[in-house]
Amino acid sequence: MPEESFLNKMNAGGEKVTRQARKLSGTGIYHVMLRGNERKDIFRDDEDKQRFLDGIDAKRKDAEFTFYAYCLMDNHVHLLINSHEQDIGTIIKSIAVRYATYYNWKQNRVGHVFQDRFKSEPIEDDQYLIMAIRYIHNNPVKAHLVENPACYRWSSYSAYLTTQAPAWLDIEFVLNIIASDRNAALTEFERIALEADNTRFIDIEEEKAVQTIEEGRKFLSKLMREHYEGWSVERVREDTAMRTEIIRQLRSETKLSQRVIAALLGINKSIVEKVKTD
């Protein structure tokens, strides 16, 4: 890779911004994972996957953002996106809502398609960017769907090899980070893609099923710390809207019984029963 880091230049002098709900990236680049509500499939066929990609293209006409990689799996999506100083949450939500509207119409259903809160992690330097792209492209290999990322249709890997990318996918930015000569960059890109790596990224399987009350306490504590800073369980209990949101997340993201959720929050089980997750 070139000695001077592209992303370090983008990040230089940037004031660190913190927000309760999400770690912000100094470069504007994020690895994002969207998953199906209750881990259910969000794509039933190739038409669904194409509709999701079409939605990205349509959204880009309204907002400036760039993707560097993507991979669509049956029950989740990995995206590597540069928000260009726009709110990442607004961009991802608009893409998700557009697809969910289509999916619910096609399946003649109502309710959430995606889990309410998508996961993201900031990408702050060139090396981490390249590793994240490798990780995203190797998701189908990890899932034993294909032996080589080049064999999977619904990722951006083939766009790099054929150099036929949609307008919203900037492969040149990534190839220029790898090497200044294009042919050398493509050769190195393929080599890196097949290289073993143990770097941990956000993943659909990273969270174990939370089932016991002790696991529930730890999960609730982590949830409050990462997304609801300044809130206490007592305060949540008294705020109907926030209480409903917490219950919905506990029901959709864990395997805790309604009785255990009620005990964790110190509320009546009937309150938990009334909160719908779908």
pLDDT digit of tens for each residue in the chain (278 aa)? 544 455 655 554 443 333 345 677 788 899 999 989 877 899 999 999 999 999 999 988 777 899 999 999 999 999 999 998 888 989 999 999 999 999 999 999 888 898 877 888 889 899 889 999 999 999 999 888 999 999 999 999 999 988 788 989 999 999 999 999 999 999 999 999 988 666 666 565 544 456 677 878 888 888 888 778 788 888 888 888 889 988 888 887 777 888 888 888 989 888 988 887 65
Give the rounded distance of the alpha carbon of 95 from its chain centre. Answer: 12
Specify the pLDDT at position 79: 96
Rounded to two decimals, what is the model's pTM?
0.69
Residue 202 is predicted with a pLDDT of: 57
The reported pLDDT for the residue numbered 223 is 80
Q: Are 5 and 39 in contact (CB under 8 A)?
A: no
**Domains and their CATH numbers in the chain:** 6-193 (3.30.70.1290), 213-273 (no CATH)
Element counts in the chain: helices (H) and strands (E): 13, 4
pLDDT tens, position by position, 80-111? 999 988 889 899 999 999 999 999 999 998 88
Sign of CA dihedral 128, 133, 138, 139: positive
CA 185 to chain centre: 27
122 to 7, 20, 212, 268: CA distances (angstroms)? 12, 14, 32, 39
Q: Which two tokens stand for residue 190?
A: 């393929």
Pairs from 146-151 (Cβ < 8 Å, separation ≥ 24): 148/194, 149/193
CA 40 → CA 34, 35, 75, 134, distances in Å?
A: 12, 8, 6, 25
CA gap 181, 179 in Å, rounded:
5
Tell which residue, 100, 85, 13, has the closest CA to residue 51: 100
Residue with tokens 């050769």: 187
DSSP H or E run through 265: helix 258-265
- C-alpha distances (whole Å) from 274 to each of 114, 143, 173, 262, 268 are 20, 36, 49, 12, 11
89-119 burial: b if 16+ Cβ within 10 Å, else e: bebbeebbebbbebbeeeeeeeebbbbebbb
In the prediction, which pLDDT does 1 show?
A: 53
d(CA 27, CA 125): 8
Render pLDDT for 108-142 as a digit per residue (tens, 0 to 9): 988 889 887 788 888 989 988 999 999 999 999 98
